[in-house]
Amino acid sequence: MVNRIEKVVVVGGGSAGWLTAATLAAEFKSGPGGISVTLIESAETKSIGVGEGTWPSMRTTLQKIGISETEFFRECDASFKQGSKFTSWLEGGNESYYHPFSLPEGYQEINLADFWAPHRDKVSFANAVCPQLRVCESYKAPKQISAPDYAGSLNYGYHLDAIKFARLLRKHAVEKLGVTHVIDHVEKIHSAPNGDIASLQGKAHGQINGDLFIDCTGFASLLIGRHYSIPLIGKKDVLFNDRAIAVQVPYADESAPIASATLSTARSAGWIWDIGLPSRRGTGYVFSSKYIDEQQAMDELKAYVGNSAGVPFEELAPRTIDINPGYRQKFWHKNCVAIGLSAGFVEPLEASALVLIELSARMIAEQMPADRQVMDIVAEKFNDKFATRWQQIIGFLKLHYVLSRRNDSQYWLDNRSDESIPSDLAAQLKLWRTRSPWYCDETHVDQMFPSASYQYVLYGMEYPSQPMTARKRSDESDQQRARQIFASNDSMAGKLLTNLPTNRDLTDQVKHQGFGHI
């Protein structure tokens, strides 16, 4: 008899658990012939509450599971994120650059980097090829209140309150999508003869059976780590940061502008994130304990926050989070899949935590094995896919460090040492000295970072790519087309600055009117 997959059990709540449960329940009908979804979370476990930045992919995810953008904004203290701004990464001064979410204009048609290069001393790359930098610098939103849900003039993601987000997902998953919610503490895991998980033993509810178990238990990694002992592939030799101090910073003035990008400011042994929500800022210092102790890091974070909170820093109740950078050797083992922090974690420099949850849940939903006999085949594909994705993320994060010219601490010098740079990244950097990245460099259909992202970081950090010197037959027409796009981009930026509301004004409007209001 073939064991059909009929019941999925998600262990652990928070953003990972509830986003996974909602994604699966939105895909499959429950009841006879369908797949039921049960989520077990312990009242004894508190959510870590980080992960306040998303990629633009979250718009598609929320739409698919049936949450309106208006409801999302109202319930999650959300604001718009249009990319990241990096300050002090290059020289340690006030220099900055942007990694916007929108692609360069005409990106599939022409590689503007080659035509921008001769003018690099006059205009930054992001400013030349995309209007989003100027929109962010003016604290503007990417859309107007009249735009329908999830549509905008520019590409965008979100900043959000992670605790409130999990709460919204839980309510929607249970009330609208039929997810069964069990509040219980898992005391024991029962194994089947083939080594699968047969059931979980709850402290209050007894035995809970399932066909597929998803581990969303965070750093505890109850199933994939403790039960199956799947090791973590450590990456501290590449990404040095192993600790973070996080604080929630109130606005001294409640009408203060809301930043339209995640602010990332480099410091002596790491960097400080600054995320603007309507009611507060989420701020923290990610650092390496090898190069700075916790009190020194606390002092640097305190100096950064300064008087902006309107209250003494000590009243903000800073908390420390330990980071063990790396990812599981396998994410799907037997009938158990790890998603979220149980699968791995690296510093949130490019907000990859939530998108990995989205991608994991989506792949399971799209490739759900019909029965146990084919599950191992799906598991192998899943493991290959996400090992590649983690490697891509780690390489991209490391790129930010190896391009720095900071010499003010051993931390920055060691980050540029050859032995800490992944070999594939070193090879790409060598190649990019002779030509700029472009979409033809993308080796996977669903690449984690498009080649445009590499361009934004490389040229924001003044990487000296040299355009090809060999003359091409298309040189004259390409030069003319590039000039047209540069002019069009400049004109578009002016129109957007005139017509778009500020991030603060639009988030205030949504409370009363909702998107799509004319």
User: What three-state secondary structure class fits 2?
Assistant: coil
Write down the pLDDT at residue 1. 44
Q: Which of 81, 143, 330, 385 is catalytic?
A: 81
Q: Tell me the per-residue pLDDT of 166-220, one tens digit each, with 9 for 90 and over.
A: 999 999 999 999 999 999 999 999 999 999 999 999 999 999 999 999 999 999 9
495 is catalytic: no
Q: Determine how many CB atoms are found less than 10 A away from the CB of residue 94.
A: 8
And the tokens for 277?
């929500």
Three-state SS annotation for 264-333: EEEECCEEEEEEECCCEEEEEEEECCCCCCHHHHHHHHHHHHCCCCCCCHHHHCCEEEECCCEEECCCEE
Q: What is the 3-state secondary structure (H, E, C) of 418-432?
A: HHHCCHHHHHHHHHH
Q: Which strand (E) or helix (H) includes residue 201? A: strand 197-202
Question: Which residue, chain included where needed, has tokens 């109740």?
Answer: 317
Quote the tokens at residue 478: 């390409």
- Are the beta carbons of 28 and 368 closer than 8 angstroms? yes
Amino acid occupying residue 495? K
Give the fold, CATH level 3, of 242-322.
D-Amino Acid Oxidase; Chain A, domain 2 (3.30.9)
CB neighbour class for 459 (10 Å; exposed up to 12, middle 13-18, buried from 19)? buried
Sorted by where each begins, the domain ranges of the chain are: 7-52+161-235+326-375, 242-322
Looking at CATH, the fold of the domain delimited by 7-52+161-235+326-375 is given as FAD/NAD(P)-binding domain (3.50.50)
> Exposed, middle or buried, 144 (CB in 10 Å: 0-12/13-18/19+)?
middle
Residue 114's φ and ψ, nearest 5 degrees, are: -65, -30
Beta-ladder partners of 508: none
Short-list 86, 157, 81, CA closest to 125: 86
The DSSP element (H or E) to which 244 belongs, if any, is strand 243-250
Q: Which residues of the chain have pLDDT under 70?
A: 1-2, 48-51, 467-471, 473, 518
**Strand residues in 24-63 grouped as ranges (E):** 36-41
Cβ atoms of 324 and 244 within 8 Å: the answer is no
Nearest to 135 by CA among 100, 164, 162: 100
